[in-house]
Structure 1
Amino acid sequence: MIALSLAEIAAVVGGQTHDIPDPSVQVTGQVVRDSREVEPGSLFVAFAGERVDGHDFAAAVVEAGAVAVLASRPVGVPAVVVDDVQRALGALARHVVQKLGATLVALTGSAGKTSTKDLIAQVLRHKAPTVFTPGSLNNEIGLPLTALSATEETRFLVLEMGARGIGHIRYLTELTPPRIGLVINVGTAHIGEFGGREQIAQAKGELVEALPSEAEGGIAVLNADDPLVRAMAVRTKAKVIFFGESGEADVRAENVRLTDKGQPAFRLHTPSGASDVTMRLYGEHHVSNALAAAAVAHELGMSADEIATALSEAGSLSRWRMEVTERPDGVTIVNDAYNANPESMRAALRALAAMGTASRAKGGRTWAVLGKMAELGDEALAEHDAVGRLAVRLNVGKLVAVGGREASWLQLGAYNEGSWGEESVHVSDAQAAVDLLRSELRPGDVVLVKASRSVGLESVAQALLATGAEGEVSAR
């Protein structure tokens, strides 16, 4: 964070100083909520959770080097005490962002937010120092913490914004007002909570409504291939730029194809020129993510060649999102288990099918180890059934559905599409899936692991990678 005195912090958040001998002492380190992340000069934010109360760690964090604690009650060590810690954190973030003067890029969407955010950050890093949301810390706590990690050298601040209801993104834009707002897509993630795609579009569109006017430098970056996103153009006073594969898009891709490893390649077209891109990421769905990043970078002054070079060099920065690892025995594990919704599940299966082309040449098979997609409400049965059917249509060799009712719907969809015998199975839990795979995998196989975060299927990928390191593999 940029250096601020405790007196200034107290004034910004409307708090009272307690046990602070010298209010002019500055916070020069990071603002953190995890006591394990405290370093000399930090400000520790004490949240009172259901299981852990951060106030209980106040003495320990000060001993570890924290300058003070942002707290809701006196804690016996230097503290700025406020009525509402979360709102105080947001107020502090807004103050720092305004003082910093960096260009703030915010993005939202139903699927692909984190991957797109990572691409934008890696492209903009080629131009100037960039700070961006780590992982998926995109809520009312994670977003201000990210903003507060910016320093005087930061020129671009890339923030992912999530929503679970109407008004959530509006609130986040009030904490960190963006100049550039990107909406990637409107899908069915969290549809059970929103009630329908139209309601999701209403929530996501709050981002473009919050942008400054075109005269003030506001830019809305919208997906031309998604009708619900394209329609958001009328909800903003900002300049609108479209990306996509549509011929009407300002930033578009032509000659899209996948390499024999399943990595996308295409001809990037921007208003300033065209250049070829071959990505290190896996799956055709990353083309749209790359175009979104390219549109942002173009508006910030990068040439087509500069953008194409950066996109071709970019990798995966966030764990458990299409992490591809080949074991010493020739089995490839694709860990995409961080989260899942119908759109991302279909994209992952198509990526697996593309990777299968190379694996079959080596005598291998494709495996889809899939679990529940959460928060789909009344659409849950139909969506799980559809994913099971798609696995068959894409000629995935083996489907392993893991878990309870929703997994049984996955397997039933595959069965009804024509996957009989041992081509699709339903197992009770992650350990059962690991036991099955350990006995069946052979060199050349490619295994995709994917489900909603609550299922915890990353344990399957981790166990299979550990097995490969031990050199255990079936010779069948």
Structure 2
Amino acid sequence: MIALTLDRIAEITQSRIHGSAHPADVVTGPVVIDSRQAVPGALFVALGGERVDGHDFADAAVAAGATAVLGSRPLAAPQLLVDGGDAEVVAALGRLASAVLAELPGTEVIGVTGSSGKTTTKDLLAQVLGRLGPTVAPAGSFNNEIGHPLTVLRADENTRHVVLEVAARGVGHIAYLCGIAPPRIGVVLNVGSAHMGEFGSREAIAQAKGELVEALPEAAAGGVAVLNADDPAVIAMTARTTARVVSFGRGEDADVRARDVQVAADGRAAFTLEIGGHAAPVRLAVLGEHQVHNALAVAAVAAELGMPVADIAAALGEAGPVSRWRMEVTDRRDGVTVVNDAYNANPESMAAALRTLAALARQRRSVAVLGIMAELGAAHRAEHERLGRLAAETGVGCIVAVGEKAAPIVDGARSVTGWQGEVRQVSDPAQAVEALRGLLRPDDIVLVKGSRVAGLEKVAEQLTAEEAAK
């Protein structure tokens, strides 16, 4: 973050100096919401939580060197006091991020959205653009009204790119986030079924995702919308923006194209990247054929920022997974391979993961530990039955469905004529681990995937921890 005095921050955030704060004291960053991350010069943002109240940790943050606390409950500590509770503190945080970004005119902001693949694409993009200059991107899926400004506030005078993952829980959310950090380049990956229960329809999801392209500058001012030509709902967003559109996909009409896609035995895709008459071979370091579209989106942005095609191809080949629990592969000493993709799940990402499992398994027995896909609303049963059928159809040898609400997965798998695999239903992650102890054989490959509420990362971690302890 750029250095700012408390009186300047108070002016920006519409707060008032309180407690033992001095107007001339300077915040040099970082801006944190966890007192354990406070260092000299930091600004600690105190927010209430389900279990703890950040204000109770203000003294600890100041003792660690924080210059002041931004919060809504009066404190004796040096404070910037906001009226109106947590909602106003979050709004103040957004105002601070906007003001800091306005002081960095040489910094490019790139926004990435989509129903699936946002985090991986953001991670790949940050690694590729890092070759062009200092790049800031959120850790994991830090993509909401708190994580978004905190990421922006990590930028300083040396930052060349800020890559932001933009999520939506409803119509208007992406527009709000784009108001905090207006992007010049916006990437829309896909429109799927994630959060169908909240949005009600795929059309409503498309409406929300399209807020990103609506927020872009017009073409004459440099705005660029990077759209998936293979997703009709995404390419239709061309009509919703005045920015210049760059399409990516596997079809001949895409501006940024993948040709001759192949998936190797290790599950990694290779293809020929074509942009503007130039071509270069790519072999991805991340798992799954579905990563091709993510890589194309990254290539489109990198090309817009001046990176030659050959350099883009080389960078994509070296960019690996960064965020946790997303296709993390661990080979155990007993020959079992654990693929931890437990961070989240929706119908599209589940399908991609199962197809990747099939590509990896080849002659090995595959085991799929599957939790529920949350927030599907009325489509819950149908989508979980479809998931069970797909698991069986892709040749999964053993399915472990975790949780009572995962029962339709079992029904779907058993409905597939001729499938000879095994299926188990267990109540929770602990029972899944216990079942797997009796099920796994040497040389099996195990996929662990479900929505965050399923807690299946505990299964993957236990499977790898037990082996490490031997």
TM-score (normalizing by structure 1): 0.96
Partner of 1:37: 37
**Aligned partner of residue 382 in structure 2, secondary structure:** helix
Alignment of 1:196-207 (within 5 A): 196-207=201-212
Question: Shift of the alpha carbon at 1:51?
Answer: 2.4
Question: Shift of the alpha carbon at 1:288?
Answer: 0.5
Partner of 2:400: 400
Partner of 2:99: 95
Question: Shift of the alpha carbon at 1:398?
Answer: 1.1
Q: Could you tell me whether the CA contact under 8 Å between 1:346 and 1:390 is conserved in 2?
A: yes
Partner of 1:55: 55
Q: Could you tell me whether the CA contact under 8 Å between 1:392 and 1:418 is conserved in 2?
A: no
Question: Shift of the alpha carbon at 1:4?
Answer: 1.1
Question: Shift of the alpha carbon at 1:329?
Answer: 1.7
Q: Could you tell me whether the CA contact under 8 Å between 1:369 and 1:402 is conserved in 2?
A: yes
**Aligned partner of residue 281 in structure 1, secondary structure:** strand
Q: Could you tell me whether the CA contact under 8 Å between 2:21 and 2:77 is conserved in 1?
A: no
- What letter is aligned with 1:12? I
Task: State how many pairs are aligned.
Answer: 465
Stretch deviating more after TM superposition (82-91 or 45-54): 45-54
Cα deviation per residue 1:13-38 (whole Å; 9 max; x = unaligned)? Answer: 11111134532221112000011111
Rounded to whole Å, the distance in 2 between the matches of 1:232 and 1:85 is 34
Going from structure 1 to structure 2, the CA distance change for 1:305 and 1:420 (only over 3 Å counts) comes to closer
Q: Could you tell me whether the CA contact under 8 Å between 2:48 and 2:55 is conserved in 1?
A: yes
Partner of 2:433: 434
Partner of 1:86: 90
Going from structure 1 to structure 2, the CA distance change for 1:33 and 1:21 (only over 3 Å counts) comes to closer
Q: Kindly indicate whether residue 3 of structure 2 is the aligned counterpart of residue 3 of structure 1.
A: yes
Partner of 1:467: 466
Alignment of 1:417-456 (within 5 A): 417-418=416-417, 423-456=422-455
Cα deviation per residue 1:330-354 (whole Å; 9 max; x = unaligned)? Answer: 1110000000000000000000000
**Aligned partner of residue 369 in structure 1, secondary structure:** strand
Alignment of 1:253-264 (within 5 A): 253-264=258-269
**Aligned partner of residue 399 in structure 1, secondary structure:** strand
Q: Could you tell me whether the CA contact under 8 Å between 1:392 and 1:419 is conserved in 2?
A: no
Q: Could you tell me whether the CA contact under 8 Å between 1:272 and 1:304 is conserved in 2?
A: no
Alignment of 1:179-194 (within 5 A): 179-194=184-199
Q: Could you tell me whether the CA contact under 8 Å between 1:108 and 1:160 is conserved in 2?
A: yes
Rounded to whole Å, the distance in 1 between the matches of 2:432 and 2:212 is 41
Rounded to whole Å, the distance in 2 between the matches of 1:269 and 1:23 is 55
Rounded to whole Å, the distance in 2 between the matches of 1:235 and 1:32 is 36
Alignment of 1:5-404 (within 5 A): 5-20=5-20, 22-83=22-83, 84-101=88-105, 102-271=107-276, 273-357=278-362, 360=363, 364-404=364-404
RMSD between aligned residues? 1.2
Question: Shift of the alpha carbon at 1:418?
Answer: 3.2
Percent of matched pairs sharing the same residue: 58
Going from structure 1 to structure 2, the CA distance change for 1:259 and 1:113 (only over 3 Å counts) comes to same
Q: Could you tell me whether the CA contact under 8 Å between 2:257 and 2:275 is conserved in 1?
A: yes
Q: Could you tell me whether the CA contact under 8 Å between 2:344 and 2:450 is conserved in 1?
A: yes
Q: Which runs of 5+ in 2 are unaligned?
A: none
Partner of 1:474: none
Question: Shift of the alpha carbon at 1:421?
Answer: 6.4
Question: Shift of the alpha carbon at 1:43?
Answer: 0.1
Going from structure 1 to structure 2, the CA distance change for 1:56 and 1:470 (only over 3 Å counts) comes to closer
Q: Could you tell me whether the CA contact under 8 Å between 2:392 and 2:421 is conserved in 1?
A: no
TM-score (normalizing by structure 2): 0.97
**Aligned partner of residue 289 in structure 1, secondary structure:** helix
Stretch deviating more after TM superposition (18-27 or 239-248): 18-27
- What letter is aligned with 1:432? Q
Rounded to whole Å, the distance in 1 between the matches of 2:35 and 2:277 is 47
Q: Could you tell me whether the CA contact under 8 Å between 2:256 and 2:296 is conserved in 1?
A: yes
- What letter is aligned with 2:49? G
Q: Which runs of 5+ in 1 are unaligned?
A: 472-476
